[in-house]
Amino acid sequence: MVLSVLVLLTELSTPAWAFCGFYVSKADTTLFNKASQVAIARDGQRTVITMANDVSGDAVKDFAIVVPVPTVVQQDQVHVGDPKILSRLDAFSAPRLVEYFDSNPCAPPMMEDRLMQRPMPTAAAPAARARSDNALGVTVEAQFNVGEYDIVVLGAKESSGLETWLARNGYKIPRGGAPLFRPYIRQNMKFFVAKVNLKEFNKTGYEMLRPIQIAYESSKYMLPIRLGMINAKAAQDLVVYILSPKGQAEVTNYRTVNVPSDANVPLFVKEEFKDFYKAAFQKAYVQEGRNVVFREYAWNMGNCDPCSADPLTPEELRQAGVFWLDDQSQSRPGRFAPPWMSSNVFITRLHVRYTRDKFPEDLVFHETANAQNFQGRYVLTHPYKGESELNCPAGRQYRRSLPARFEKEAQTLANLTGWNIAEIRKKMNLQQPIPQQWWKKLWNSLFDRRFA
């Protein structure tokens, strides 16, 4: 059972621009089956990685992970995090649905109308064992307990010896696992192994395992995902939240592309947004060759537009591993900002759906100074309802333009999702558009000029 994508999960012998609009809904990680979440806070060579463990109930006793790490990790470098922090990152950065309302085309534009379109933020061992380990080429570099986790950090000289050590110590490695250790051993990486101490877990009072956080310094800026493919039978989803003091992060060894965005879609999508986004993501995934990393969000944590959740507070950012915050967050120069806003934390949300054949390498990241804003955003635009008031030329032109606008929304939805266009038109109560005869266009034009 693969419960987290960046790790090998085993069984013990005994898962920049303002948009405006009104936020309606979001497409969070609950849309995807067993989507793993990882947060990486990095500045220079210092890194804090937070790994979500979506495990509860009886599965807790069978939970263990093996994570390649670039350096030996000691007890004070490991922390048990707040289980809510990854949910907050997810809610803040999730692709979103927003809606607008057309104003009366016959009425002069008013300042109040423009103000009403501003975004509305939402709340939201013994010596004998040591000799045996050495014979296997395995070295226990560190061993300690943190919270509900019993942790050992291993060094290894060859993969079969590491596989044997894990088996002798109560871990069952899925078939085909040993060869995947080799690339990490060649890089002289260590193996962070954790399992649950049930006695300590019962003391916490939590129903689910809390995330593990690891702090280290290394020039390696990567996320190991290959071990998580050992016993996976289908494509896996991984969402990575990268927190940086500079700007966007991207993947260097695979293409990083923006998820399709800023599209006007039919009004009925409001009731089917989850199905819509799953279909749109799957189609983009296939069209891009199933081997790209999608950027779903990139924004300064100090604000959002529109907000699907409140920006994280400085305390929440620290819980997410941000270690470079000053005691008092600084607002953007020359701009008013509430005291909880922070302008030196930039979040990039990356979403990768991967299989072993399409992602033969681990993810390698690169930090950039690009602070351009981006979000996966889909727009509903409600037509003006006051039909009786549309008695001016602009109003009549507006009324005539609606069928073409609705048809364009239907076509856009079909192109994004692959849904049947006839079914879309049916849900919108549209008929197949009939081209207007050229002479009717002429008469309508003359009529509008006459009464202008």
pLDDT score recorded for residue 207? 82
Return the axis-axis angle of helices 178-186 and 159-168, rounded to nearest 10°: 120
pLDDT score recorded for residue 234? 82
Q: Using CA atoms, how far apart are residues 49 and 38, in angstroms rounded to an integer?
A: 7
Instruction: From 451, 405, 390, 1, select the one nearest 228 (Cα to Cα).
Output: 1
Q: Give residue-wise pLDDT tens across range 310-342.
A: 999 999 999 999 999 864 444 444 334 454 455
Neighbours of 179 (CB within 10 A): 11
What's the full length of the chain, in residues? 452
How many CA within 13 A on the CB side of residue 154? Answer: 30
pLDDT score recorded for residue 17? 37
Q: DSSP 3-state assignment of 361?
A: coil
pLDDT score recorded for residue 134? 75
Q: Where are the alpha helices (DSSP H) in 224-350?
A: 273-287, 314-319
Q: Using CA atoms, how far apart are residues 413 and 428, in angstroms rounded to an integer?
A: 12
Is residue 358 a contact partner of residue 313, using CB atoms and an 8 Å limit?
no
Owner of token pair 């979000």 = 375
CA distances in angstroms from 219 to 34, 44, 122, 186, listed in the order given: 30, 8, 38, 16
pLDDT score recorded for residue 216? 96
Amino acid at 443: W
CA distances in angstroms from 14 to 61, 161, 224, listed in the order given: 8, 22, 27
pLDDT score recorded for residue 30? 85
Is residue 419 a contact partner of residue 279, using CB atoms and an 8 Å limit?
yes
Owner of token pair 């965005």 = 261
Residue 248 tokens, joined: 């966007």
Q: Give residue-wise pLDDT tens across range 183-200.
A: 999 999 999 999 998 999
Low-confidence ranges of the chain (pLDDT < 70): 1-21, 56, 109-132, 172-176, 231-232, 326-343, 432-436, 447-452
